[in-house]
Amino acid sequence: MLVRKILLIRLGWFVLLTLALLQVLSNTQIQTDIASFMPAGKNDQQRQLLEEIKQGSAARLWLIAITGEARDSDAQQIIFQSQKLATSLRASGLFSSVVNGPAAIDDSLLQRLFRYRYLLDDSIQEDSFSVTELRRALQRRLEEMTSPFSSFSKQLLVSDPTAVMRHVSDHLQGNQSTLESRNKVWYSSKKNRALLIASSKEPGSNIDAQEKAYNRILSTFKKTRGNTNSSLIVSGAPLFAVAARDSIRKESRQLSIAAGIFMLAFMFLVFRNGTLVLLSMLPIGAGLLIATAAVSLLYGSIHGITLAFGITLLGVTIDYPVHLFIHAKKTSSLQQAAVNIWPVLKLGVLTTALGYGAMIWTDFSGLSQLGVFSLVGLITAALVTRTLLPALKRDVPGQTSVLQRRVLSLMNGRWKSLPGIALLVFMLVSLLGYKFFLPYDIWSRDIAALSPVPTELIQQDRLLRSSLGLPEATSLIRVKGTDVEDVLKKEEQLKPVLEQAIRKNYITSFRSAAELLPSIHTQQLRQTLLPDRETLSRRMDDALQGLPFRAGSFKPFLDAVENSKSLGFLKPIDLRGTIIGTALDGLLSTSGQGVSGVIHLTGLQNMDALEKLIRAATLPQVTFINIKSGTNELMQGFRQEMLQRIAWVTVVILLVLLMGLKDILRSIRVITPVLLAVLFAALVPLWLGESLNLFHLVSLLLVAGLGLDYALFFSSIRDDQKNAGTVTYSLVICSISSLVVFAMLAFSNIPVLHAIGITVASGVVAAFVLSWMFSGSFRRKVKV
Amino acid sequence: MISGSVIRSFVLLLIFACFVVPTARAAEVEKLMAAMAAVKHRVVSYKEEKQMEMLEESLHSEGRLEYIAPDKLIRSVMKPVEMRYIIDSRQLIIDKGGKLQVRSLENLPLVRVFVESFRSVLAGDLDTLNKYYSITFSGDPPAWKLILQPKDKKLAVYVKKLELSGTGDDVQLYVVEDSNGDLTRMQLYPFDSKVNE
């Protein structure tokens, strides 16, 4: 090669890599927000579901408990700490709300509610003020006078003989009062424990923000705790997100360090030359750099998951320099070796790129990033191997190593067809006895099974959640409308349906904005049900016949009803700053498209039946959102799409092979072991009792990529018998390195890493063994 | 004009009345409380009469009262209708024909203080009683009478004073006088199963 050309190539790559590095260092943001990795959603329900996952209240909710030692003496201490923690967290600005005790209705709000009691009363009927009903109510009040507390209740009696206020305040306070409290702080003396609920300002999908919130909770508690011996328990969905990311990060870091050390050591063992070892890392390094730069240029940022998966998929490029160096030992010129292997390598890269590129046109933004990333990385690594490596080093010490001879003589053994036959028999048996061996679902339905969150944490969360009486995080109802009034009206229409669900024991209770504040329409309707003063006065006189009440006692009642008839309507703005106003803020949200209401469900027993019931009601803009099954459906849809695309890509790859190899039989010989290896890689996790998920699927793509390289190189032996030893040896080295790296992942406790590891490791074995067996030269002895 | 010395002696008398009389009786209150504290479980029958401004005739009711130390009180009304009130330091449960209403006392601070007028006497809990009420003791042992006046201003809006009287460790009469003059007189008897049938 000419010196000028060498310099030009070096300079070209240098400029390109420097630019990529600059782009990465200056302009690349790594996104950790899981939401941006998610697909865009195909229909309205899917979009709402995703909105819920990204913005929903459940994903922001922290459950906090402060416990002391199991004695009551430091109860005051615990209560004090709860108050102090709540105050500091509120002041931190990281939380939209921090609640540590029952929401008591204060006197000024109570007075306002009292004034509006006849408009707020949802039990009002046409005949609520009939003589019969009034008389029944008066008799009941008389019976209640036998209470030890009549000193207090009698004053209410004259202005509210039908006990409407009691109904209204019971209704508003819901089932909250069952939680034990002391000094307005949720505190259980039995457990010597105070409870708090905090809601993050940032959406749950922003894990960085959640981590910040978590650290703030910990540090604030440390300060408030001082030197007492109380302890803190934190739980909730945002913690799970933080914990999951942390454990994946930690374990990936450890594993990649281990894999890196192994690769360096292994390369050194094979090449016995430091320069070659360093150079062997160049293609993948350059691939990663330019791929990252390309994605950040195209998308504005790169997702953390894209990066992690991308590095995995680019693992295939580790093989390129290995092939080059081993071939160069024979030709003793790197340039010549590059020219020699290029036709085979090119076809391998091209077909693998097609497989990876299949991901680009999905509406799953994270995966389309991954498609671009792996495509760019792959092509870069191949071009570096073809052009830059020969321009950096002229030759490789030309000797067949002892290792190479040993390996090849081993491969000439009589048993050489055994592994391949064993693999085929295994697959045949698995497929024939499919029902018997794989009695469970092939596809994983449960996305939660992927979560690396320890079960103790989930258990603890469940306990705290139930002791706080919190609604289900798995499902809710969304009601959309043009304005608050519209949403309230729709929620009121839905109410009978939900009450039916309670009667049928599908749920135990629900919480909606309309339960706190009736629509103006309803308030108006209730006003028309109130009788005028004269009518009411006459009816009261009739109702009081024969009862011991003194005449004229009920003037306050007559005044109140009369006043209610002309009262202005109660609107959310009138309740701002009160606990009901705060609760309404949590249940109604305003956006550019209008107002959206959420209905929380408690004690969910039968999700499917409830969903059917709500669907059957056919109320417009009312959506039942089942977060768990919805997410699973979403994943299922995506999987279907991926599988279809893979089928098409397989056809295209076959066409490319036909054009490249110009031989039908040979193309089939190349593609068959690849497909079988993919099948085997899918069967192994199934045999181990694991249903397949998205991560297995991505791993299968890598198996296909590796398999294509192996099959093409084995197949190339036919054209060049002299090189049989070199080709075979370099494939042995390549597959051993991939096998070890992915086997490491397979032993990880983290489901995602384990899934990738087990799939790729078994795929590598199968791809190597089968490509070898299917290559035309299998029966011939390999010349050492 | 009243001379300075008369005023002075009147003030002195007042001071004397405030300090000396209560301390003279304090020992007897303590003795009574100790006797009360010794009884951990009581069941009595009661008859109650309420005279109220808004009612033309007084209201009668009867039933059974149970106390379980230290803080549980169960009032079972038998007539005119059956109803049960179960109260402890945390909550009030109203049982009307099996239909339960549970209320946290946290939200009913007045009820809580009001109940102490009865509970802390039965429990012999003088500290609590002193905290919420000013106590006047009278009577010749073994007969006794306690007049309680609420210290809590919010409670005083509703209740003027309470009277408990009895013999030995038995409470025989519990009278509540509301601020508007309404009167509740509850007489307590040894448990009589006939009343409760």
- Give chain B's domains with CATH numbers: 4-68+109-190 (2.50.20.10)
| pLDDT at res. B12 | 56
* Integer Cα distance of B116 and B110 in angstroms: 10
Residue B178 forms contact with A (CB below 8 Å): yes
Three-state DSSP string of chain B: CCCHHHHHHHHHHHHHHHHHHHHHHHHHHHHHHHHHHCCCEEEEEEEEEEECCCECCCEEEEEEEEEECCCEEEEEEEECCCEEEEECCCEEEEEECCEEEEEEHHHCHHHHHHHHHHHHHHHCCHHHHHHHEEEEEECCCCEEEEEEEECCHHHHHHEEEEEEEEECCEEEEEEEEECCCCEEEEEEEECCCCCCC
Substitution target from A140, A146, A547 for chain B, most B beta carbons within 10 A: A146
A464 Cβ contact partners less than 8 Å away, ≥ 6 residues apart: A63, A65, A195, A233, A235
Q: Which residues of A touch B90 (CB under 8 A)?
A: 180
* Integer Cα distance of A318 and A281 in angstroms: 7
Q: How many CA atoms lie within 13 A of A514 on its CB side?
A: 26
B192 Cβ contact partners less than 8 Å away, ≥ 6 residues apart: B45
**Banded pLDDT at B21 (limits 50, 70, 90):** very low
Handedness of CA A620, A626, A631, A632 (dihedral sign): negative
How many angstroms from the chain centroid is the CA of residue A382?
A: 34
- Note whether A155 contacts B176, CB cutoff 8 Å: no
- Note whether B54 contacts A158, CB cutoff 8 Å: yes
Picking from A148, A180, A549, the nearest residue to B75 by CB comes out as: A148
C-beta separation of A54 from A214 below 8 A: no
Tokens for B47, please give them. 């008859």
* Count of CB pairs separated by less than 8 Å, A with B: 76
- Note whether B54 contacts A182, CB cutoff 8 Å: no
Residue B107 forms contact with A (CB below 8 Å): yes
**Residue in chain B nearest A177 by alpha carbon:** B104
Q: Kindly give the pairing relationship between strand B41-51 and strand B183-190.
A: antiparallel
C-beta separation of A68 from A188 below 8 A: no
Among A28, A120, A61, A485, CA closest to A238: A61
* Integer Cα distance of A305 and A244 in angstroms: 13
Q: Which residues of B touch A104 (CB under 8 A)?
A: 106-107
| pLDDT at res. A254 | 85
- Note whether B158 contacts A155, CB cutoff 8 Å: yes
- Note whether B85 contacts A181, CB cutoff 8 Å: no
| Dihedral, CA of residue A680, residue A682, residue A687 and residue A692, to nearest 10 | 180
* Integer Cα distance of A215 and B104 in angstroms: 34
Q: Which residues of B touch A549 (CB under 8 A)?
A: 54-56
Picking from A145, A178, A548, the nearest residue to B56 by CB comes out as: A548
* Integer Cα distance of A150 and A159 in angstroms: 15
DSSP conformation class of A692: B
| Crossing angle for the helix pair A664-687 and A694-716, to the nearest 10 degrees | 140
- In chain B, positions 61-80, which contact chain A (CB-CB < 8 Å)? 61, 63, 75, 77, 80
Among A621, A625, A582, CA closest to A600: A625
C-beta separation of A277 from A368 below 8 A: no
* Integer Cα distance of B28 and B141 in angstroms: 8
A277 Cβ contact partners less than 8 Å away, ≥ 6 residues apart: A264, A267, A268, A271
The SS3 call for residue A531 is coil
* Integer Cα distance of A263 and A277 in angstroms: 9
Residue B188 forms contact with A (CB below 8 Å): no
Handedness of CA A639, A643, A649, A654 (dihedral sign): positive
Q: Kindly give the pairing relationship between strand A622-626 and strand A231-235.
A: unpaired
Q: Which residues of A touch B75 (CB under 8 A)?
A: 148
- Range from A93-97, A380-384, B104-108, B132-136 carrying the lowest mean pLDDT: B104-108
* Integer Cα distance of A213 and A87 in angstroms: 15
Using the structure block, give the residue that is written with the tokens 């939401």. A35
Instruction: Give the end-to-end CA distance of chain B in Å, rounded to a whole number.
Output: 67
DSSP conformation class of A105: P
- Note whether A146 contacts B80, CB cutoff 8 Å: yes
Q: What is the mean pLDDT of residues B54-72?
A: 91
Residue B191 forms contact with A (CB below 8 Å): no
Amino acid, res. B24: A
| pLDDT at res. A472 | 64
Q: Which residues of A touch B51 (CB under 8 A)?
A: none
Picking from A148, A154, A181, the nearest residue to B52 by CB comes out as: A154
Chain A residues contacting B via beta carbons under 8 Å = 102, 104, 142-152, 154-155, 157-158, 173, 177-178, 180-182, 184, 548-550, 553
C-beta separation of B137 from B168 below 8 A: no
- Phi, psi for residue A650 in degrees, rounded to 5: -60, -40
Picking from B55, B85, B94, the nearest residue to A550 by CB comes out as: B55
Substitution target from B75, B79, B86, B104 for chain A, most A beta carbons within 10 A: B104
Q: Which residues of A touch B83 (CB under 8 A)?
A: 143-144, 146-147
* Integer Cα distance of A600 and A708 in angstroms: 52
* Integer Cα distance of A331 and A328 in angstroms: 5
**Residue in chain A nearest B65 by alpha carbon:** A148
DSSP conformation class of A569: P
List residues bridging with B43 in a β-sheet. Answer: B66
Three-state DSSP string of A348-371: HHHHHHHHHHCCCCCCEHHHHHHH
| pLDDT at res. A42 | 66
Residue B111 forms contact with A (CB below 8 Å): yes
C-beta separation of A235 from A101 below 8 A: no
Residue B83 forms contact with A (CB below 8 Å): yes
How many angstroms from the chain centroid is the CA of residue A257?
A: 27
Q: How many CA atoms lie within 13 A of A555 on its CB side?
A: 5
Q: pLDDT higher for A171 or B51?
A: B51
Among A214, A245, A239, A252, CA closest to A457: A239
| pLDDT at res. A71 | 57
- Note whether B54 contacts A145, CB cutoff 8 Å: no
- Note whether B106 contacts A181, CB cutoff 8 Å: yes
* Integer Cα distance of A602 and A606 in angstroms: 11
- Note whether A145 contacts B114, CB cutoff 8 Å: no
Tokens for A37, please give them. 């990795």
The SS3 call for residue A99 is strand
How many angstroms from the chain centroid is the CA of residue B165?
A: 9
Please state, as a whole number, how many other Cβ atoms lie within 10 Å of the Cβ of residue B194: 6
| pLDDT at res. A91 | 92
pLDDT in tens, A286-308: 999 999 999 999 988 888 778 87
Q: Which residues of B touch A548 (CB under 8 A)?
A: 55-57, 59
C-beta separation of A773 from A715 below 8 A: no
Consecutive 10-residue averages of pLDDT for chain A (784 residues): 85 93 84 66 71 74 85 76 93 89 80 93 90 93 88 87 89 66 82 88 85 94 86 88 82 83 88 89 94 92 81 86 88 88 91 84 78 94 95 77 80 80 88 71 65 72 76 80 94 94 90 92 94 94 91 91 93 86 84 86 85 88 81 76 82 89 89 94 88 83 89 87 85 90 85 87 94 80 63
ipTM confidence score: 0.82
List residues bridging with A624 in a β-sheet. Answer: A477
